[in-house]
Structure 1
Amino acid sequence: MDGVHRAGMPGVYAEVRDTGRTWRGASGVADVRTGRPVTADMRQRVGSITKTFTAAAVMQQVERGRIRLDAPIGDYLPHLVPGERGRKITVRMLLNHTSGIPDHIRYAFPSLQNMSPESLDANRFRQFRPAELIELGLSAPPAGEPGATPGVYSNTNYELLGQLLERVTGTPAEEYITRNVIERAGLRHTEFPAGPRIKGPHSRLYEALWGSMDPPRDYSVYNMSWVMMGAGLVSTMEDLNRFYGKLLDGKIVNRSSLAQMQRTIPVIALDGTTIEYGLGLHRHDIPGCGTFWGHDGTAWGALTESWTRADGKRQASVALNLARWKKPTPSGTAPSGTAPSGTAPSGTEPSGTGFSGTEPSGTGPSGNLQNHPIDAALSTLHQQALCGN
């Protein structure tokens, strides 16, 4: 982690668990102006890791018979997904991103098409309604045919799943997930934020937007209504390890539901890479080390990863407080091994792992991106945290 900080990351913190032993550590600063240090217990906007929580809540309702995985979403939400689309798209297709509904974020943040931060600033305190976000996705050109593979990653799918949970439980999705997933897992520092501020100890979150903001801008105060069901949670690295440990041990959903969540298909992530995706879960295979399950996630200025080995004995959750640090190459051609997302360790990670695959913008700079020392340092950290070498 010191190497990641020296390479240019303001702050990095993590918790690693291995067969009953736990290590926590931090390196760098939470505030580049004051030099306040990061600490291992800080809270973080964990981005698309939220999708695993939402998917687990949906599977609980599947277990109760209130939701059928292969039922058309139009059976539940005809007012949101009417007509032929509502008849063709199933709940499962929303969970595994094969619905063909495109991601809404590029339309909620239109300036991202030109790599401008204007929309980020304009939306900082804006309260989006779920129906508004869903309409943005549904009115855009389809990303594919319902059920077709590879799927195409879309946060709009999870906004719909939040509305589905509310429809079948009679409770706002945030409240249902809090009571039945977060509290069931025994998490003490995980919550959907009620406003733009993070409660408790946390770092400032620095967004570079592929070099368009230099120096990077602090977006730690931000209304997350633009992606709440897909990426809105705040958590700690300790809570994330606890959650995935409980989930994969059959303590949040039953073994049958977990098996459904672990049925993966290829999905094209928002950065253009292909990942192995189930129902709210990534599969991450490391040669010579094992198969890991979990998710990565990003919000403006924040990047987080949480992985648990299939046998449950090795876990690692890592948080960073700078996002999208790479810059476009002047010539528009990338050095060999450069990851297209601008956040993945270059050259050594399988596609869709190592802080890639869940870019909130859905758009990157035209052309390719320069290598950065942070990428190699993160690759080393990733290997040591997950594999112990």
Structure 2
Amino acid sequence: MKNPLDGAALDAAIENVHRAGMPGLFAEVRDGEQVWRGAAGVADVATGRPVTADMRHRVGSITKTFTAAAVLQQAESGRIGLDTPIGRYLPGLVPGERGAAITVRMLLNHTSGLAEYLPYAYPSLKAFPSLADTGPQSLDDHRFTRFDPAELIRTGVTAPAVGIPGGRPGVYSNTNYLLLVQLLEQVTGTTAEQYITRNVIERAGLLDTELPAGPYVDGPHSQLYEAWFGMIDPPRDYSVYDMSWVGPSASLISTVADLNRFYAALLAGEIVGPSSLAQMQRTVPVVSQEGRTIEYGLGLHPMEGPGPGQGVFWGHGGTVWGGGALAMTRADGKRQMAVAVNLQRWNRLDSAGVPQPHPVDGALAALYRLAMYG
């Protein structure tokens, strides 16, 4: 399974993504002691400032692995039961029969049946993810809105359910992870940001990773360009944005090097114990926000190679308004990839509201394949 890093091929592959229409992207790929870092394109389309591989970046739902690891730590200490009903911990947020039926594990693996609150917090995204009738105006309206997490949770809990507790397939929902954040705060007596920082980020030795309090990204970073399926043309920068709309379920700022460091430590059993890691890697089918059915564990999901003997990779992807990232590490911890991009929803929609293929899709897929499998 030895596929040594081909720096020239990776340089060409990342440049191809830029040429296909991505303003800027950067990545780190590791194979044992070998490390390749690359970047292509610009961090600012107005000034031409280039992206660099050490930039800090909003990594969206990659945060969920950090949150899940924190919950598993508390399960190891006996303060949280994975199969305990959430209503026992948070009766005010998930009352009655649903609180008794939905377990902590169901929140972690998105089988709770709780709806996504996002379309209700952003009214112009009301059809999300059915995109034909959506519009981007709410993004500007809420750039500096401070959302109350309890309100967002209430919105998701009172919305029509998307499944029964424990049902298959599950449906990916940020409501689940906002509840896990509240659970962490209840059992640790501190904020989720402080707990995750001390016990996950610092334990992994991450020096450029944080859960920020305000709407700004500190340090060298790219602008983040949102196209909203061609409805924002030219794409608009949303790098300054109050992240309380997702809180510590998707607000992490990190670097590609730190993401690789984190997943290496997690899969080596340095963040949670081996039995907790095994729980995180027990998957169920879950419908993603893009409408695809994926396998999903407890804050982790797998990717398998296109051919036999190439190994299973574990990690997570994430998007925010204008930015995205994907971080995957092979199960043995040896081969790793982290990629960050500064444009989101670049696909145009057809008349039925279905996103159409775009050259960026193929170029990114080719980069991922090369980075993971050589």
Q: In which range does the TM-score fall when normalised by the shorter chain?
A: over 0.9
Structure 1: which amino acid aligns with 2:321?
W
Correspondence 1:1-389 to 2 at 5 A: 1-112=14-125, 113=127, 114-288=133-307, 289-330=310-351, 332=352, 366=353, 368-388=354-374
* Cα separation, 2, equivalents of 1:110 and 1:295: 27
Q: Deviations over 1:240-274 (max 9, x none)?
A: 00000000000000000000000000000111101
- Report the more deviating stretch, 63-72 or 226-235: 226-235
* Cα separation, 2, equivalents of 1:370 and 1:166: 42
* C-alpha displacement of 1:328: 1.0
Identity of aligned residues (%): 66
* C-alpha displacement of 1:369: 2.3
Q: Is the 8 A contact 1:241 1:315 kept in 2?
A: yes
* C-alpha displacement of 1:129: 1.1
Q: Deviations over 1:288-340 (max 9, x none)?
A: 2221000000000001000001111100000000000000125x4xxxxxxxx
* C-alpha displacement of 1:376: 1.5
* Cα separation, 2, equivalents of 1:87 and 1:229: 25
Q: Is the 8 A contact 1:159 1:229 kept in 2?
A: yes
Q: Deviations over 1:25-47 (max 9, x none)?
A: 10000000000000000011000
Q: Deviations over 1:177-212 (max 9, x none)?
A: 000000000000110111000011000000000111
Q: Deviations over 1:107-161 (max 9, x none)?
A: 1111023321111111110011110110010110001000111111000000000
CA RMSD of aligned residues (A): 0.8
Q: Deviations over 1:315-367 (max 9, x none)?
A: 0000000000000125x4xxxxxxxxxxxxxxxxxxxxxxxxxxxxxxxxx2x
* C-alpha displacement of 1:19: 1.4
Q: Is the 8 A contact 1:115 1:212 kept in 2?
A: no
Q: Deviations over 1:211-256 (max 9, x none)?
A: 1100001000000101112211000000000000000000000000
Q: What TM-score, normalized by structure 2, do the two folds share?
A: 0.93
SS of the counterpart of 1:22?
strand
SS of the counterpart of 1:304?
strand
> What are the ranges of 5 or more consecutive residues in structure 1 without an aligned counterpart?
333-365
1:347 corresponds to which residue? none
2:10 corresponds to which residue? none
Q: Is the 8 A contact 1:115 1:209 kept in 2?
A: no
* Cα separation, 2, equivalents of 1:29 and 1:227: 27
Q: Is the 8 A contact 1:99 1:145 kept in 2?
A: yes
* Cα separation, 1, equivalents of 2:134 and 2:164: 29
SS of the counterpart of 2:216?
coil
Q: What TM-score, normalized by structure 1, do the two folds share?
A: 0.90
Structure 1: which amino acid aligns with 2:136?
P
> What are the ranges of 5 or more consecutive residues in structure 2 without an aligned counterpart?
1-13, 128-132
SS of the counterpart of 2:315?
strand
Runs of 4+ in 1 over 4 A off after TM superposition: none
Q: Is the 8 A contact 1:7 1:374 kept in 2?
A: yes
Q: Is the 8 A contact 2:211 2:248 kept in 1?
A: no
Give the number of equivalent residue pairs. 353
SS of the counterpart of 1:295?
strand
Bigger relative contact order (CA 8 A; separation at least 6): 2
SS of the counterpart of 1:319?
strand
Q: Deviations over 1:26-79 (max 9, x none)?
A: 000000000000000001100000000000000000000000000000110111
* Cα separation, 2, equivalents of 1:253 and 1:219: 34
* Cα separation, 1, equivalents of 2:196 and 2:276: 16
